[in-house]
Structure 1
Amino acid sequence: MTSVSIFGPADEPITLDIAQPFAPARVSTTRRYLMCPPRYFTVEYAINPWMDPSQPTSTELAMEQWTALKDTYERLGHDVSVIEPQQGLPDMVFAANSGTVIDGRVLGSRFRAEQRAAEADHFRRWFLESGYKAVVMPTAVNEAEGDFTWTGQLLLAGTGFRTDPGAHSEAQEVLGVPVVSLQLVDPRFYHLDVALFMLDDQSERPLVAYYPEAFSPGSQRVLRRLFPDAVIANDDDAVCLGLNAVSDGRHVVMPVEATNLAEQVARRGFEPVLVDISELRKSGGGPKCCTMELRG
């Protein structure tokens, strides 16, 4: 059996046992994350299918859920840095969209939606003030880790709704890593990080989880070739943004509603850590959207 820890705003853990066949031992690695508190969170415009300004939102609840997510990372031994939010930028909480960091090199973001454009420069200044020397701002539209996923060996790069295809070659040139382009076709899954996430980026055989229907037929074939052992999510997993998850190689922080996906990753030897982030999902975000990884 494996234990699943559920943490919500009340910060009271609930343990759920999931039957698990033989699976390899998983090893966590300490990660460094950058997050931004949702102090000004609201839904006042619609730039993706999840956003509905007519529905009420609670900034207080968003702060509680974000704090529980940050506390979860720190409880698991990870280092979390925090950037100050800016009034008038309600989506700045989704830090993953503002930078891609590999081996200490930073490729900033260039947002497609004008409502989020100003976020990019706030993050650029944070990187410079934090001692990063190699910081490059893109010329092509690129929503950073929203559409860029590092496997430990290559960069998976999504396009179709937000990030321009030209940003993929720019990322390869700036970051100096091989890039594989993937075409997204379902507007609900407008970013790569709501359709796919890395479970293990430290092994010789990286392991991912993904939702095939979010991708074009050709991209599905690419994913099957690259990751023949992948965890395949179903529609229920996908529509609760269960794939907007964060793994440290052992613990997988994911939305509490993604029970089928949690069982699948547990069967592979990982430990799901389920968090309630339902308020931020009203803007189309989950744990990964709130979390930029600082590599190197």
Structure 2
Amino acid sequence: MTETLAEKAEAVERTPSLYHFAMVEPSEFDVVYEINPWMATTDRPDRELALAQWRTLVDAYRAYGHTVEIIPGVPGLPDMVFAANGGLSVGGIFYTAKFSTEFREAEGPLHAEWQRANTATKVVEATFVNEGEGDYIALGDRVLAGYGFRSTIESHRELEEAAGREVVSLHLVDSRFYHLDTALCVLDEARGLIAYFPGAFDDDSRATLERLYPDAVKVSAQDAEAFAMNSVSDGKHVFHAGAAREFGRIVEELGFVSVPLDLSQFLKAGGGIKCCTMTLRD
């Protein structure tokens, strides 16, 4: 007999872990070019509202005990607010981002410089195009890695060698979900519980996810379009887009605490909660 969500929740005690995040101030945030389907220079964000939304996210993290490092915004780099794209901390290294678009190419070196100055993590310079945590999700002894739009599969092999972790390549096929962190999120890192939108992946990648994570939560297209998968979880509290109401209900039924937040101004650039959040790991 198949367990209901409530029965699954009763069998598990959700315990939060404390995380160390880095976030970039949205002082320069704007939409002045178009590099994904969400961006339109005719629909630019309200920068004052964006700053208020970002501060609410920072405050929410800190209210639940997480540490947040603030990196100043840099003039001319409106998308640097999406800190997750700047690289990946895993296996004792920081693997740098290497952007293919000229609009963002300066971000990778700036994040590497910040890591060298503020952490003890060894910085490994990428030689292949990748967009950091946007396409890399560390989970246990493996890294889930997206490709198809922003990161190359060659970078997956380079990361695997540098970090000494298994890297599982997942092919993204819907341009609305151009980064892995818009299509998949980790709900409970300790237990290996994930959520994902099946429509973002090709058949082989869906089969891989089914095999590796048979208990995963599969979200609807409606919630995926509301950026439900661009969420951050500490194992108990799930910080997610408030517009993803069904997803909020599901995580509550699974025993998590739903923390809905409005980052609507960042969605105008194709970003959300996770995009704004880089996880720092020793």
- What TM-score range do you get, normalising by the shorter chain? over 0.9
Correspondence list, 1:6-45, <5 A: 20=6, 23=9, 24-45=12-33
Change (3 A) 1:243 1:131: closer
- Determine the structure 1 residue equivalent to 2:194: 208
Distance in 1 (alpha carbons) for counterparts of 2:7 and 2:258: 15
How far the C-alpha of 1:114 sits from its partner, in A, is: 1.0
Paired amino acid for 2:93: R
Kindly provide the CA deviation profile for residues 54-96 of structure 1, in whole angstroms up to 9, marking residues without a partner as x. Answer: 1132111111000000000000100001111101100000000
Specify every segment of 5 or more residues in structure 1 that has no aligned partner in the other structure, as ranges: 1-18
Deviations 1:9-61 (A, max 9, x none): xxxxxxxxxx9556111000000000001001110000000000011321111
* SS of residue paired to 2:162: helix
User: Would you say 1:161 and 2:143 are equivalent positions?
Assistant: no
Residue of structure 2 equivalent to 1:225 = 211
Residue among 185, 209, 229 paired with 1:243: 229
| Alignment-mate amino acid for residue 165 of structure 1 | I
1:113 offset after TM fit, Å? Answer: 1.3
Tell me which moved more, 125-134 or 75-84.
125-134
**Match of residue 267 from structure 1:** 253
Question: Hey, which of these two has a bigger chunk of helix by percent?
Answer: 2
The separation in 1 between residues aligned to 2:72 and 2:136, in whole angstroms, is: 24
CA contact (8 A) 1:105 1:132 kept: no
For residue 76 of structure 2, what is the aligned residue in structure 1?
88
1:282 is matched with which residue: 260, 265, 268?
268
Secondary structure of 2:223's counterpart equals: helix
SS in 1 for 2:264: coil
| Residues in 1 aligned to 2:91 and 2:207: alpha-carbon distance in whole angstroms | 29
| Deviant stretches of 4+, over 3 Å | 19-22
- 8 Å Cα contact 1:277/1:286 also seen in 2: yes
The alpha carbon displacement at 1:131 in A equals 3.5
Amino acid across the alignment from 2:27: R
Q: Could you tell me how far apart the structure 2 residues matched to 1:229 and 1:31 are? A: 24
C-alpha contact 2:185 2:194 (8 A) present in aligned 1? yes
Q: Where does residue 176 of structure 1 map in the other structure?
A: 164
CA distance in 1, matches of 2:239, 2:102: 30
Query: For structure 1, which segment, 102-111 or 283-292, has the greater mean C-alpha deviation from structure 2 after superposition?
Result: 102-111
Letter in 1 for 2:116: L
Percent identity for Structure 1 against Structure 2: 43
Could you tell me which amino acid in structure 2 is paired with residue 231 of structure 1?
V
**Within 5 Å, which residues of 2 pair with 1:126-141?**
126-141=114-129
SS at match of 1:279: helix
Tell me, yes or no, if structure 1 residue 189 matches structure 2 residue 171. no
Task: Name the CA distance, whole Å, in 2 between partners of 1:143 and 1:32.
Answer: 20
Cα RMSD between the aligned structures? 1.2
Distance 2:132 2:21 in 1: 14
Distance 1:181 1:22, change over 3 A: closer
**2:35 paired residue among 25, 44, 47:** 47
Report the CA distance between 1:132 and its aligned residue.
2.6
CA distance in 1, matches of 2:189, 2:234: 8
Residue 153 of structure 1 and its aligned partner are, at CA, apart by 2.2
Q: How many residues align?
A: 276
Q: Which residue of 1 aligns with 2:59?
A: 71
Asked if the contact 1:186–1:215 (Cα under 8 Å) also holds between the matched residues in 2, the reply is: yes
* CA distance in 2 between partners of 1:97 and 1:281 (Å): 15
> Within 2, Cα distance between the matches of 1:212 and 1:27?
27
